[in-house]
Amino acid sequence: MMTEVRVPTLGESVTEATVATWFKKPGDSVAQDEMLCELETDKVTVEVPAPIAGTLSEIVAAEGDTVGVDALLAQISEAGEATPEQPKKKEENPTKTAPETAKDPVEAIDAGPTNVTAREKGNNMNIMVPTLGESVTEATVSTWFKKPGEAFEADEMLCELETDKVSVEVPAPAAGTLTKLLAQEGDTVEAGGKLAIMSTDASAPANPAPATAPAAVAAAASTSKDVEDAPSAKKLMEENNLTDVKGTGKDGRVMKEDVLKALAAPAPAVVTAAPPKSNLRAPVAANQDAREERVKMTRLRQTIARRLKESQNTAAMLTTYNEVDMTEVMALRNEYKDLFLKKHGVKLGFMSFFTKACVHALNEVPEVNAEIDGTDVVYKKYVNMGIAAGTPTGLVVPVINDADQMSFAVIEKSIAAMGAKARDGKLTMAEMQGGTFTISNGGVYGSLMSSPILNPPQSGILGMHKIQDRPMAINGAVVIRPMMYLALSYDHRIVDGKGAVTFLVRVKEALEDPRRLLMDL
């Protein structure tokens, strides 16, 4: 008798989860209530126990798969019963990809389970898509550093994948030669999918030229019904309504370069036709096409665009402004910056002052540090401070966890470390999640004033700007002071105008008299 293992209830408003880890493999014995796997949601981690004692006969949802509530995870046969053959079960399971008859000798390698990084068979080994991070199920092949036929060392970088959050480098599982690419640049691949095939036998030749291809390869090519165009070329043709492009690739295959040449040529009527309504664009004269460059948005840029637009569409966003006299902060920083660097090994910047001032203000106006969950307001009794950072690939927001418990030195070290990771593209998913409030410093780019956009589901974001000397009236006299405009964008659904203005005034007071931070005033 088979017993089904299903996804348990995940909590209010949570409808799906990602399979993070399987603690058992098909064929392993399990005891009742023993942990079989771990599921991750956007809020909690859920462990799934075995409902009965027996043998794990089949895993239906592999690591990295997204599953809904009550979805089938696995099956257990009771103790003493024969376990069905796993390969047969895999073929019957519609959610798995059954191995097809290989058209190429190197494709005869068993696809294997999707959670295996690389599987060796003879002298050949599969290069697999690694785990991409929490809730990330697919990526785009950005760059191949090696070509078929090239040799490499173990752990040498073979390619780079791009997700909607971070870039992931794929190292070589062993030394060898790249035999065949299964995913080209621009292709979308799923977590656990196959990227390429390599040979661990140094004497094995790489893919030979078409003229010297083995008979099996030639036969496979001749039996192919259609010549598949390059994925990047197909995408470019769809975007530009091109239907007839002459291919220069093998067997007439259309490559990306062929489409670009067709676009650069005098455009026929079909090219200048109106684009789809979902991508409205001003008409462009046919003779201007050659002076334009069309580049596909990166997954990170697509995610930034989607999330910012969702923020505008979802939140009742409003911005309030104030200005702060930076005289005291600058004087304090200049007085202690050398001693601070000598003792702590990190420079004393303005961000630690602003972080401390925001923590101080959030304690007084807790709704700015809250979020909406359905019809509930969730007040955070901690401050995970997001620090927006611009990178060559787009805007990212690394999070400083428990910033309210940190000293100036720890805050500066954390910001420096996160900033370096952001510039190098090394931020992980975990380091960009869980923020409760965000600070964005447009002043480093020369911005005098702006209205920052909320980072959902947060309810507040502080915009810093350029420090500029301006004449100010102080005690009846006009003096020159270093002034900065501050902007607080907030979700008016849970933050009233009084709370927003009070928050900004408290930040202003703490920065104009930093001693207030020491005395919690």
Among all residues, which ones are annotated catalytic?
A: 492, 496
Query: Rounded CA gap, 412 and 54, in Å?
Result: 54
Tokens read off for 252:
């007439």
Question: Do the beta carbons of residue 197 and residue 124 sit within 8 Å?
Answer: yes
> What separation in angstroms does the CA of 413 have from each of 34, 375, 390, 406, 440?
42, 38, 18, 10, 18
Closest CA to 107 of 189, 187, 195, 197: 197
Structure tokens at 303: 């995610």
CB 26, CB 57: distance < 8 Å: yes
How far is 486 from 463, CA to CA, in rounded Å? 6
- For helices 408-424 and 327-344, what crossing angle results, to 10°? 80
Question: In sequence order, what are the residues at sequence separation of 6 or more whose Cβ sits closer than 8 angstroms to the Cβ of residue 273?
Answer: 241
Q: DSSP string covering 379-427, please?
A: E-SS--EEE-EEETTEEE--EETTGGG--HHHHHHHHHHHHHHHHHT--
Does 457 sit behind a cis peptide bond, omega within 30 degrees of 0 on the bond before it? yes
Asked if 55 and 38 touch (Cβ cutoff 8 Å), the reply is no
SS3 502: helix
Tokens of 341: 């660097």
333/327 Cα distance (integer angstroms): 10
